[in-house]
Structure formats: structure tokens, C-alpha cells
Amino acid sequence: MPTINDVAKAAGVSPSTVSYVLSGRRPISAETRARVQAAIAELGFHPHAGARALASSKTNVIALVAPLRVDVNVPVIMQFATAVVTAARSYNHDVLLLTKDEGTAGLERVAHSTMVDALILMDLERDDLRIPALRKLKQPSVLIGLPADHTGIACVDLDFGAAARTALSHLAGHGHRRIGLVGPSPAVYRRQTTYADRFLAGFLEASADLGLRTVTHPCEPGAEGVRSCMADLDAELDGLTALVVHNEEALRPLLDLLRATGRRVPEDISIVAICPRDVAISMPVNLTSIDIPAHDVGTLAVETAMRLLEGRRVEYTRLLEPSLVERDSCREISTSHR
């Protein structure tokens, strides 16, 4: 592999001049810069990442902080991670994935060791303890989520409140007036995870505005959790005709339970799922769904981080509008069933 000394020799300059051309930290004449760049191209020289970082104070690495807690859906998290990695590569950046739940300690360790240029955080809580620490770091941060106080920190996400309203409006438009919400696990609500809180608040507000009778319950993962959740929903609101499911892991056991108990989808009960498209179309019934736009959110998070690194203006709160796709899990009901 060619070295910086090889480039310097080929261009007839000193190694320090090559370094300055690469880092841009000192003015170099156009003629000298052209000779160095020609030598780099001819030799196929690629500066070592560590040396490049020392020379330019940049690492070309973004940290993605995505704690893999027991109550997160790992396949969905990985869709976001894939989007971040793909977008980062388009900016010639790599991604350091941090999956351990270390709170502020992990952020400070990575930031203070100058391992990364910027940080992107997932799985935010309403009163997230990491936010004050982020404000003290020299690296810019972008949140995939919307905590209560995010002043000075850019946030991108799906508008989960609007997603809840879209789901209920769709069902109400099909004549449904008794609707249950199968929510995330109780642990997600206990941590006050922002996406769950925002969806629940939007659901309750839309229910009141639309004059619907609704009931909500968290749902533990697995068949037993789904069975318990449905028993609670049925006990609290007799005559349910529709469900909104904001829990990807509950979808298949829910459909299995409904089939086993003789409740046909959509003939007896309609479903709108909040989930990625690939999940919606992989179920025994192709589900009407509001997509979790992992690709768009992850890409936007990286684009925002790049703009911050370049000192450009950004919109500090970007919530993507929900998009509902009608498939096979909803039907219109007659007045007599309302």
C-alpha cells in the first residue's frame, strides 16, 4: 500500500504538504495541490483513518446509539440502523453502532475519545436523562424521537400522534365506533418511550374528537400476552369491531388467536397495524397498515447530522406525515353493527 511519503516523493513535495492538502488546514497553491492530487490518484493512496482524523480533527464516523433492551423489536431497530449506515456511506462516513444501555456514560466515553463526528440516538424517553449530557458535547446530535425538552437538539421521527388519528379516522370512515388499541409492552409505557406516549395521546385525542368508544391496553409479547390483552379489551368494551395494533410482535399471535376463537379478519373484526410494510404483507392476512418509515427517518437523521457538521441551518423538529395503505384487513360495517 502506498504511503504518504510515496505520494510526497511522486509529487516532489514534503509529507507535511501532502497532509495539508488532505486536511485543508493550510493554504496550498493550486499548482502544488494539483500535483499532490495527481500523485494520490496515480498511486491509489488512501489515508489511514486514524491519521486523517488527527490531521483534520474529523473521523468520518457517526455513532448510532440504539440500546437493544429486552422490550425493543430488534428487526425494526435494524431497519433504522440499515438506513443510517446506507445514508452515512453516501457521505463517506462509517457508523459505530452502540447497543449497550449505558446511559450518559457511553455517550461521554465515545464523544470524549474523539471517535465520532456526530451522534444519532434512538429509543428516546420523554424525560431522557441523556439530553443534558448531549448538550455538553462538542459533537452535534440528532434524535430519532421527540423527548419533552429537546431544545437545541435536532429531532426526526414519524408523527405518531398523527398516525393514531389516521388509523382511527380510517376505521371511523368504515363505520366502526367501538375500537380497541393493542399497545406496546407495559415496559415501553413505563419507560415513557416517546413514540408510544405520542401515539397513545394522539389515539385518545382523536377518539374524543371523532366521538368513538375506545379502550386501550399494553400487550406483553407472546401468545399469552396477546390472549390477556384481548381478554381485557373485550371485558372493558363489549362489541369491539376493530383493532389498532401498535405492537409488531403481537400481530401474528393476535391473528392466530382471532382465528382460533372464530373471529374472522375482516368479516368479524377489522385491523389497522402500525408497522413496517414488510411485516404487514407477511401476515396470514395482508394488513391495512401505517408504515414505520425506517428508511426515510434514518436517511433524514444522517442528512441532518451532515448539515450540522457543515454548519448549515436545520429544521430542529421534523415529523414525517403518516401514510396509510389499504389492504385486506378492514371492511365497512352496517349501521346495525355500530
Q: What is the CA angle 8-18-303, rounded to 5?
A: 140
**pLDDT value at 338 more than 70:** no
How far out from the chain centre does Cα 6 lie? 44
Cell of 175: 363505520
DSSP 77-105: HHHHHHHHHHHHHHTT-EEEEE-S--THH
Position 37 scores a pLDDT of 84
Contact, 298 vs 156, CB < 8 A? no
Q: What is the pTM of this model?
A: 0.82
The mean pLDDT of the chain is 91
Contact, 248 vs 76, CB < 8 A? yes
> What one-character DSSP code corresponds to residue 317?
E
What's the CA dihedral at 279, 273, 166, 235 to 10 degrees? -170
Integer Cα distance of 104 and 123 in angstroms:
14
Domains of the chain: 4-47 (1.10.260.40), 61-158+294-320 (3.40.50.2300), 160-292+324-337 (3.40.50.2300)
How far out from the chain centre does Cα 123 lie? 8
Position 48 scores a pLDDT of 58
For helices 194-210 and 160-173, what crossing angle results, to 10°? 40
Sign of CA dihedral 237, 327, 169, 324: positive
Position 254 scores a pLDDT of 98
Contacts of 46 (CB under 8 A, 6+ apart): 1
Position 54 scores a pLDDT of 47
Strand pairing class (270-274; 242-245) = parallel
pLDDT tens string 179-214: 999 999 999 999 999 999 999 999 999 999 999 999
How much is the average pLDDT of 280-309?
Answer: 97
pLDDT tens string 20-73: 887 666 788 888 888 888 888 888 887 655 555 545 567 889 999 998 887 788
AA identity, residue 269: I
Contacts of 214 (CB under 8 A, 6+ apart): 168, 178, 179, 180, 181, 203, 204, 207, 237
DSSP 232-283: HHHHHSTT--EEEE--GGGHHHHHHHHHHTT--TTTT-EEEEES-HHHHTTS
% helix, strand, coil for the chain, step of 5: 45, 15, 35
How much is the average pLDDT of 110-136?
Answer: 90
pLDDT tens string 298-326: 999 999 999 999 999 999 999 999 999 99
Q: Is 64 helix (H, G, I), strand (E, B) or coil?
A: strand
Across 1-5, 122-126, 147-151, 246-250, least confident range: 1-5
Sign of CA dihedral 322, 325, 326, 330: negative
